[in-house]
Amino acid sequence: MSIEVENIHKQFGSFTALNDVTLSIPSGELVALLGPSGSGKTTLLRIIAGLERADSGRILFNGEDTTEHHVRERKVGFVFQHYALFKHMTVFDNVAFGLNVRPRGTRPSKSEINAKVMDLLRLVQLEGLAQRYPAQLSGGQRQRIALARALAVEPQVLLLDEPFGALDAQVRAELRRWLRKLHDEIHVTSVFVTHDQEEALEVADRIVVMNKGRIEQAGTPDLVYDHPANPFVLNFLGNVNLFHGRLNQPGADQHGADENAVSYVRSHDIEIERSPQDSTALKAEIRHIQKLGPSVRVTLAIDATGEFIEAELTRDVFKNLGLQQSEQVYVRPRQVRVFVEDYQI
């Protein structure tokens, strides 16, 4: 089931939640709507679902205009951040709920419902917990039950709003891998909202980066990470260092001659050297060293400008360099991306 979002605009009082948003989602794709709070990603998801009404624009499923269709007519499955399970029902009854409340003419038989629910519980790897209640489950198990319940009604589109946001880091990582594997098995067109860059990069076929009610960039994880369209995308997808200067080098005419510009370099693209290997190396002083599990973050002050930057090293590289606080070293930026300074984030 393909989804077309055409020129969607949504206003809440004086606040513009979505500003002329257009997006195409091919059938069977797993898409992440990524952005900070207030960027419009959840509003867009709710409009696709039919839970919210746009002020203008259209939503099409497989080319059919569903803008005026009620949420029940859109055949979407919705998974919320806080599960929304029925506490008084068993796991089995929670998953079966959407099937049991169908009109009599379209409701499957009890044996068909039983078979379908058990198939879904096997799919989410929780078949042994059918008679438990939500309070007896872990957070990760509850979220998988919520997903099974959404899939029970055979949705054409699966929508997930911050599905792992309420879980701890280890469980989130496990469920991310599980969701990717599950999607590869069922191939339901899926859209999920997240503000977690790592989650989007790991799980999605395509990432839609949103900011202030508009789409900044859409593309594969590799594309948006390696070729960010602007400073906002670059900043949002990793720790970034800024170097201010003037842009007047040959071949940069498209930016205009001699403009104020900012060079952006991710922290893992800063190399630290004992002696300068070439003219791009800058003299710096180590101000702080912070060990973060498998990596080490080194804060440095650039001698020429006094600007602070951060370099992220592996433990092995840090150990081999033998770095100490307050010593003089040289830093060399790699993968430098330059944007003119008047870009508004």
Q: Would you write out the chain's pLDDT as a tens digit for each of its 345 residues? A: 999 999 999 999 999 999 999 999 999 999 999 999 999 999 999 999 999 999 999 999 999 999 989 888 888 988 887 768 899 999 999 999 988 988 888 889 999 999 999 999 988 888 899 999 999 999 889 888 988 998 888 888 999 998 887 678 888 888 888 889 889 988 899 999 999 999 999 999 999 999 999 999 999 999 999 999 999 999 899 889 988 766 555 444 455 455 677 889 999 999 999 999 888 899 999 999 999 989 999 999 999 888 899 999 999 999 999 999 999 999 999 888 888 765 544
Q: If you ran DSSP here, which 8-state letter would residue 3 be given?
A: E
Residues making up the chain, counted from first to last: 345
Q: Name the strands in the sheet holding 328-333, side by side, starting at the edge strand that comes first in the sequence.
A: 270-273, 328-333, 282-292, 295-302, 308-314
CA distances to 41, 71, 171 from 160, rounded to whole Å, are 11, 15, 17
- Please report the pLDDT score of residue 43 as a whole number: 96
Judge whether 31 and 208 are in contact, CB under 8 Å.
yes
Please tell me the distance from the alpha carbon of residue 154 to that of residue 161, in angstroms, as a whole number. Answer: 18
Q: If you ran DSSP here, which 8-state letter would residue 88 be given?
A: T
Looking at beta carbons, which pairs linking 283-289 to residues 24 or more positions away fall under 8 Å?
A: 283/328, 283/329, 283/330, 284/309, 284/328, 284/329, 284/330, 284/331, 285/326, 285/327, 285/328, 285/329, 286/323, 286/324, 286/325, 286/326, 286/327, 286/329, 287/325, 287/326, 288/325, 289/323, 289/325
Phi, psi (degrees; rounded to nearest 5) at 224: -70, -25
Domains and CATH numbers, the chain: 3-236 (3.40.50.300), 240-340 (2.40.50.100)
Judge whether 222 and 246 are in contact, CB under 8 Å.
no
Residues 6+ apart with CB under 8 A from 224: 207, 209, 217, 218, 233, 237
- Please report the pLDDT score of residue 258 as a whole number: 58
Please tell me the distance from the alpha carbon of residue 190 to that of residue 160, in angstroms, as a whole number. Answer: 8
Please tell me the distance from the alpha carbon of residue 267 to that of residue 20, in angstroms, as a whole number. Answer: 34
The distance from CA 155 to its chain's CA centroid, rounded to whole angstroms, is 22
Q: Map tokens 């589109």 to a residue.
A: 157
Residues 6+ apart with CB under 8 A from 248: 257, 258, 259
Q: If you ran DSSP here, which 8-state letter would residue 92 be given?
A: H
Q: Map tokens 């709003």 to a residue.
A: 161
Please tell me the distance from the alpha carbon of residue 28 to that of residue 20, in angstroms, as a whole number. Answer: 25
Please tell me the distance from the alpha carbon of residue 219 to that of residue 24, in angstroms, as a whole number. Answer: 11
Judge whether 260 and 340 are in contact, CB under 8 Å.
yes
- Please report the pLDDT score of residue 246 as a whole number: 61
One-letter amino acid for residue 122 of the chain: R
